[in-house]
Amino acid sequence: MKFLRDLMDKQKPLFEKGGKLEKLYYAFEAGETFLFSPNHTTGIKGAQVKDAIDLKRMMITVVIAMIPCLLFGIYNTGHQHLLATGGTAGLWEDFGDKTLVGLKLVLPLVIVAYAAGGLVEAVFAVIRKHPINEGFLVTGMLIPLVVPATTPLWQVALATVFAVVIAKEVFGGTGMNILNVAMTARAFLYFAYPAQISGDQVWTYLGDKMPVDGFSGATALSVVYNAGVDGTQSAVEALAQHNTALGADLFSFTNLFMGWIPGSVGETSTLMALIGALILIGTGVASWKIIVSGFAGAYVMGFVMNLFAVNEYMALPPEYHWVMGGLAFGVVFMATDPVSASQTETGKWIYGLLIGMLTVIIRVTNPAYPEGIMLAVLFMNVFAPLIDYYVVKANKTRRLQRATV
Amino acid sequence: MSKIVKLKKGFDINLAGKAKQELADFASAQTFAIKPTDFIGLQRPKVLVKEGDTVKAGTPILIDKAMDQVIYVAPVSGEIVEVKRGDRRKLLEIRILADSTITHEQSEKLDLASLDREALVAKLAASGVWPNIIQRPYGIVANPEDTPKSIFVSAFDTHPLAPDYAFTLKGQEQYLQAGFDVLAKLTSGKVHLNVDGAKAVPSIFSAIKGVQLNKFEGPHPAGNVGVQIHHLDPINKGEIAWTVNPQGVAQIGKFALEGVYDAAKVIAVTGSELTKPAYVKTYLGACVSSFVKGNLNSGHVRVISGNVLTGEKIALEGFLGYYHNQITVIPEGDYYEFMGWAKPSTRLSFHRALGLLSFLSPKKEHVLDSNARGEERAFVQTGVFESVTPMDILPVYLLKAIMANDFDEMEELGIYEIIEEDLALCEFVDVSKHPVQELVRKGIELIQYS
């Protein structure tokens, strides 16, 4: 790698103070530190050695944890496409075709999100003279995973730009933001272009093919919601009988858990989200407290809803809330964002619990939109500082009580 | 009543280059220096000697005009060869070329039974042993006019490669006892002697009378006196406690018994870059080159006075810091590394993120260099500082309060309870590479001088 290093050293003076391209220093620096860890040494006083971790490594760990969801999302996109257009019903039949369809749809989403967000990052870094924020490594992967595969690319680009600017850069960049950046992108799409991100028609890619008879495209959440409105059969029955044309067990509990269902690219599979959770917890990057309490909150609230069940949706067994919609993905990858989440250890329990509970409340009681995790995470992002405030206050009170004066 | 405290939080940094428990016969150091910068809070230093003067061990060479009762004295006898100043005439070093045999200033022995506290304090302050006494909060040289609520001595050091006091103080049993007797007269409260609860208490400490013996168990920073104070008798606003290092206690004891200021001490010469890590007997402020030169594995090294967490980088011909009992030599880390942020690595890490595999071999002795391993960023990761700080303190919030110059918040979050070393591990594990110890000092100075 010596030749690369030599090349870097040769170009470096151009970008340094007084060089021709001085203004682009941080763009150069981003590239340089990506290729080579810098030769900075510790100061004269203080810790003379440092832990081997840095922010880039931490962020890339989160990206790695999302890879199972991404791969599954690519395959499932193709799978749902073939299922809906009368292709083979077997999970692993036409593997190549499904993968190709999925790749064709999902890869552009990833590329557009990274390109649009990366550009914004670079522009801000150059103008504001700060290093490029590694946080974008994660956001750029999260955004394509939480939108339907059919989302127009220009909308993804716009949402990414909006989220990076409004949710992050105006606050000062990674580490300073209040809201989860990827969730902001999704909320932007939901409110700006509802037709492309909600309803029954957006979750399955049909292309130029006709859907099979009886195809509805509804997600499990809307099936359950409708069961609640109709009140003619229980939610679980409605799930079982939905879209029998596509295979009788489309919305069986196992299928919901595995993720062979229509939905946003990366969030259908609870199993993949759990694999991601294992990676995140095992590597110590995300807080297990938030993940555990998030799932617990959803279960508890689902159970409470059962007690007061006035319609079929409220009577849905609580464990179904875990596997439907984006709860698992949201709890594992969105709620655990260390910057926008609660930052105290006690606060994390409360924060996760409330996200789980709110998700179920929104799902069950909100007539307009059957998914709750997005609003729950954003809502709790706003309340996280308040939770922390009280946890910190408790710490201060303990300290004051000890004083004998 | 003595206490047993078990701490779970913290992290032991297991480094290669432990000193063998034997005294090495390195050539003795020729020059010695007192570095006024070692005394945090020394405000207006005044040098009492000129270049060319001859001094004995114990001859006053420096005072702080802001607290002029406390005398700083020469560690060895010899000739003042240089008074080194830096920018704006800031006093950096007073160097002494030592005589081949050290002669001491002789004063009266202390008769503890007949001396009252005031007279005792005056004698100690004038003798040169006083700067061993550190005041908490702030971590500065204690003011002789204060009376502390209690005095704390940590008899074990959990820092990486730290010396074993039971070994370095061998043969000084009677001085230690005398030192503790003196300390007992200085406080209205108790003198706490804190030992490592994980091991058998060395007889040198278990034999001490007149103190409260407490046991602390756990990973670093269990040996930090700040952590111990937090669990035994925390410091609130307006309270003062004093701390003394065991080497300092022995020095005070020797002055009490024999009337001489003796700066001799056994230090640990450690680090992965040394061919022969060992203990060596020398004097405070010694030039380290005679222990390091000719004892090196490689050429490109960083010499640290103190340990790798709280120490100070010094030159190959640099001098041992006043409060340091060890020197550490590690490789210098000024190199680029291709894809260093993504490559799998067995380098030591508290974290386990992608490719950080050091947790697989917990017993391995690591070689750490001085590379910063990344650039400074905003706080992102949470909960890590708390897991290496065994105190009921929220370090991130405290640091943010310091950054925001928020005095009330700093007080309420516990700035009085910490000094740099207590959060040194936070600086080590920090993903965002903040200068945590520098921030802590900034916060302390804001509170102290406002």
Do the Cβ atoms of A50 and B413 come within 8 Å?
A: no
Q: What backbone phi and psi angles, to 5 degrees, belong to B85?
A: -120, 155
- Calculate how close chain A gets to B395, using CA atoms only, in Å: 10
Minimal C-alpha gap between B441 and chain A (Å): 11
Q: What strands lie across the sheet with B60-64, from one edge to the other?
A: B45-47, B60-64, B67-73
The number of helix segments (H) and strand segments (E) in chain A equals 16, 1
Chain A and chain B share a number of CB contacts under 8 A equal to 225
Distance CA B234, CA B216 (A): 15
Chain B nearest-CA residue for A343:
B382
Judged by a CB distance cut-off of 8 A, whether residue B435 touches chain A is yes
Disruptive mutation site among A2, A35, A45, A53 for chain B (greatest number of B CBs within 10 Å): A53
Q: Which of residues 331-350 of B touch A (CB under 8 A)?
A: 332-342, 345, 347-350
Q: Do A56 and B429 touch (CB under 8 A)?
A: no
Distances (CA, A) of A293 to A71, A355, B144: 27, 9, 53
Q: Which of B56, B39, B51, B67 is closest to B132 using CA atoms?
A: B39
Nearby residues of B84 by Cβ (< 8 Å), 6 or more positions away:
B91, B92, B93, B94, B95
Chain B CB contacts of A175 below 8 Å: 377-380, 432
The C-alpha of A285 sits at a distance from chain B's nearest C-alpha, in angstroms, of 6
Q: Any chain B CB within 8 A of the CB of A404?
A: yes
CA nearest to A285, candidates B249, B443, B383: B383
The runs of H, that is alpha helices, within A149-195 are 153-162, 181-192
Taking alpha carbons only, the member of B37, B57, B56, B60 closest to residue B47 is B60
With the CA atoms of A188, A194, A196 and A197 taken in that order, what torsion angle do they form, in degrees rounded to the nearest 10?
70
Closest residue on chain A to B302 (Cα): A48
Q: Hey, are the CB atoms on B414 and A35 less than 8 Å from each other? A: no
Q: How far is CA B329 from CA B7, B25, B270, in A?
A: 29, 18, 6
How far is Cα B416 from Cα B139, in angstroms, rounded to an integer? 9
A400:B412 CB<8 A: yes
Crossing angle of the two packed helices A288-307 and A345-365, in degrees rounded to 10 = 40
Render each residue's pLDDT in chain B as its tens digit; 450 residues: 678 999 999 999 999 999 999 999 899 999 999 999 999 989 899 999 999 999 999 999 999 999 999 999 999 999 999 999 999 999 999 999 999 999 999 998 999 889 999 999 999 999 999 999 999 999 999 999 999 999 999 999 999 999 999 999 999 999 999 999 999 999 999 999 999 999 999 999 999 999 999 999 999 999 999 999 999 999 988 899 999 999 999 999 999 999 999 999 999 999 999 999 999 999 999 999 999 998 998 889 999 999 999 999 999 999 999 999 999 999 999 999 998 888 999 999 999 999 999 999 989 999 999 999 999 999 999 999 999 999 999 999 999 999 999 999 999 999 999 999 999 999 999 999 999 999 999 999 999 998
Nearest CA in chain B to A396: B412
- A241-249: long-range contacts at Cβ-Cβ below 8 A with a sequence spacing of 24 or more? A242/A216, A242/A218, A243/A214, A243/A215, A243/A216, A243/A218, A244/A214, A245/A212, A245/A213, A245/A214, A245/A215, A246/A83, A246/A84, A246/A89, A246/A212, A246/A214, A246/A215, A247/A83, A247/A89
By C-alpha distance, which of A220, A277, A227, A276 is closest to A250? A220
**Rounded CA separation A132/A27 (Å):** 7
pLDDT at position A12 is 87
Contact flag A51-B348 (C-beta cutoff 8 Å): yes
Both tokens assigned to B325: 């009992």
B321 vs A contacts (CB less than 8 Å): none
Judge: B413–A57 Cβ closer than 8 Å, yes or no: no
Nearest CB partner across the interface for B313, out of A37, A48, A338: A48
Closest Cα in chain A to B328: A48
- SS3 (DSSP) at A194: helix
Expressed in percent and rounded to 5, the helix, strand and coil fractions of chain A are 65, 0, 35
How many angstroms separate the CA atoms of B72 and A331, rounded? 60
Residue B435, CA distances (Å) to A27, A88, B223, B330, B368 in order: 25, 60, 22, 20, 18
User: Is the whole model's pTM more than 0.80, yes or no?
Assistant: yes
- Could you tell me the CA-to-CA distances from B376 to A133, A248, B336, B348 in Å, in that order? 11, 55, 16, 19
* CA A154 to each of CA A51, A122, B165: distance values in angstroms, whole numbers, following the listed order: 41, 20, 68
Quick check: B328 contacting A, CB < 8 Å?
Answer: yes
How many whole angstroms separate alpha carbon A357 and alpha carbon A18? 56
Residue type present at position B233 = D
Q: Which string of DSSP letters, residue by residue, matches B154-180?
A: E----STT---HHHHTTT-HHHHHHHH
Of the candidates A50, A53, A338, the beta carbon closest to that of B356 is on: A53
The closest alpha carbon to A98, from A124, A113, A77, A72, belongs to A77
Whether chain A has a CB inside 8 Å of the CB on B38: the answer is: no
Q: Is B431 on the interface with A (CB under 8 A)?
A: yes
Q: What is the value of ipTM here, to two decimals?
A: 0.91
A161 burial class (0-12, 13-18, 19+ CB within 10 angstroms)?
middle
> Choosing among A5, A36, A45, A50, which should be mutated to test the B contact, i.e. which has the most B CBs within 10 A?
A50
What amino acid occupies position A3? F
Q: Tell whether B313 is within 8 A of chain A (Cβ).
A: yes
Q: Which residue of A has its CA nearest to B429?
A: A51
Across the interface, whether the CB atoms of B353 and A283 are under 8 A apart is answered: yes
Identity at B185, one-letter amino acid code: K
Bridge partners (DSSP) of residue B80 are B96
Residue B242 parent element (H or E): strand B241-244
Nearest to A173 among B236, B378, B424 (CB): B378
Q: Closest by alpha carbon to A370, among A224, A256, A168?
A: A224
Chain B hits for A176, Cβ within 8 Å: 378
Nearest CA in chain B to A176: B378
Q: Is B139 on the interface with A (CB under 8 A)?
A: no
Residue in A with minimal Cα distance to B238: A405
- Assess A130–B contact: CB distance below 8 Å, yes or no: no
**Chain B interface includes A176 (CB < 8 A):** yes
User: A40 and B383 in contact by Cβ < 8 A?
Assistant: no
Please judge whether B373 and A398 are an interchain contact, meaning their C-beta atoms are less than 8 angstroms apart: no
| Contacts of residue B290, Cβ cutoff 8 Å, sequence gap at least 6 | B26, B27, B28, B29, B30
Using CB atoms, which residue from A55, A284, A344 is nearest to B377? A55
Using an 8 Å CB-CB cutoff, list chain B residues near A399.
234, 236, 392, 412-414
Residue A144 is classified by DSSP as H
Tell me how far apart the alpha carbons of residues B220 and B422 are, in angstroms, rounded to a whole number. 10
Picking from A60, A173, A402, the nearest residue to B354 by CB comes out as A60
Alpha-carbon distance of A330 to A381, in angstroms, equals 13
Which residues in B24-132 belong to E strands, given as ranges?
31-34, 45-47, 54-55, 60-64, 67-73, 78-85, 91-98
Q: Coil, helix or strand for A39? A: coil
Distance from CA of B56 to the nearest CA of A (A): 31
Q: Which CATH architecture has domain B4-14+107-258?
A: 3-Layer(aba) Sandwich (3.40)
Positions of chain A with pLDDT under 70:
89, 244-248, 403-405
Flag whether residue A405 sits within 8 Å of chain B, measured between CB atoms. Answer: yes
Min Cα separation A168/chain B (Å): 13
Closest by Cβ to B431, choosing from A44, A58, A64: A58
- Both tokens assigned to B216: 């602390």
Q: Quick one: DSSP state of residue B433?
A: -
Residue A365: which region, alpha, beta or left (left: phi > 0; alpha: psi -120 to 50)? alpha
Interacting residues of B83 by C-beta distance below 8 A, sequence separation 6+: B47, B49, B50, B51, B91, B93, B94, B95
- As a whole number of angstroms, the distance between CA A31 and CA A33 comes to 6
Q: What is the DSSP string of B313-341?
A: EE-TT-B--TT--EEEEEE-----EETTT
Q: Write out residues 9-48 of A within 8 Å (CB-CB) of B.
A: 33-48
Q: What is the pLDDT of residue B129?
A: 95
Residue of B nearest to A42 (CA): B372
Domain boundaries, chain B: 4-14+107-258, 334-368, 384-448
